[in-house]
Structure 1
Amino acid sequence: MKKLFVLIFMALAAFPAYAQDSAERDPSGDSPIIFDGVRTDLNEFLWIKRPLVVFADAPADPRYVEQMQFLTDRLEALDARDVVVLTDTDPGARSDLRQQFHPRGFMLILLGKDGTIYLRKPFPWDVREISRVIDKLPTRQREMRENSGGS
């Protein structure tokens, strides 16, 4: 059982790097959804994407593993809502994200396109719950109206 957990963890830990590498090689130009938050600047996404930041003190944190499984199972729902996932599992790196949000252990934070914090949770959340929060945001409501052709 322990070997199975280690194998699942290794696969999940490698997924963000694999997703980024494969997207960089993808000639269609589609951008990846999952980024390493240690090397990412939130200003890159301002007014373009909704950052969902996942913090943990280690990639083996069971809450982090569970959260990443929730997210990777429904990436298309997140992509449809202009979400990018930023992960930070290295407290020693003292990333800009950690300096800004001061997480304690596992932390899930949803930011709006304007940089406002709309959700902050100390435990994993399912994509369905995250999507409901996003769909209630004023900017998302406007996007849905514009996409449906309504005024």
Structure 2
Amino acid sequence: MKRLIPFVIAGLLTTASGAAAADDIPVIWPPLEASEVNLNDFLWVARPVVVFADTPADPRFVEQMTLLEARIEDLAVRDVVVIVDTDPDAKSELRTKLRPRGFMMVIVGKDGGVKLRKPSPWTVREITRQIDKMPLRQEEIRLRKATAG
């Protein structure tokens, strides 16, 4: 999995540069496992959305993953990488850093800061609206418009 991360990052860089058409946006699915990633690998490149649960059978986890998968393209446009952690016993670096209690969905900005924590599932529309309010995302939109027009 660690060998996959450079390709994910390279694909996101192409998308972030504005050079890729909408059809060229890489769709990152299935999600990455928390035990196999380091948040620092995504710094200034991607916006991790981390979904925690104590078990993959948690109904909130199942609902969140269904919501994300249904509109993963909308997340890819915003350079989102989905990361999951459903094993509290593994004590992943992400679980230690973000300290979830049961189910939790976290949006991490490209700057590495936690932008939102939610104890219940959110739709992709809610997630993308939150991302689109971020100053860095606003700058990306301005740059994309400037290079397109």
Match of 2:113 among 111, 116, 120: 116
- Pick one of 5, 28, 31 that aligns with 1:32: 28
Q: Distance in 1 between matches of 2:69 and 2:27?
A: 15
Aligned length: 126
Cα distance in 2 for residues equivalent to 1:121 and 1:66: 14
* Structure 1: gaps spanning 5 or more residues: 1-16
Task: Give the Cα separation in 1 of the matches to 2:70 and 2:146.
Answer: 30
Pairing partner for 2:141 from 131, 137, 144: 144
Provide, for residues 71-92 of structure 1, a one-character-per-residue CA deviation record: whole Å limited to 9, x for no partner. Answer: 0000000000000000000001
Q: Which residue of 2 aligns with 1:73?
A: 70
Structure 1 counterpart of 2:46: 49
**1:129 counterpart (111, 126, 131):** 126
CA contact (8 A) 2:49 2:107 kept: yes
Task: Write the distance in 2 (CA, Å) between the matches of 1:108 and 1:31.
Answer: 20
Q: Give the alignment's TM-score, normalised by structure 2.
A: 0.79
Counterparts of 1:141 and 1:134 in 2: how far apart (Å)? 9
Q: Shift of the alpha carbon at 1:37?
A: 1.1
Flag structure 2 segments of 5+ consecutive residues without an equivalent: 9-23
Shift of 1:32: 2.7
Segments of 4+ in structure 1 off by > 3 A?
Answer: none
TM-score (norm 1): 0.78
1:94 corresponds to: 91
Q: Secondary structure at the match of 1:68?
A: helix
Whole-angstrom distance in 1 between the partners of 2:127 and 2:42:
18
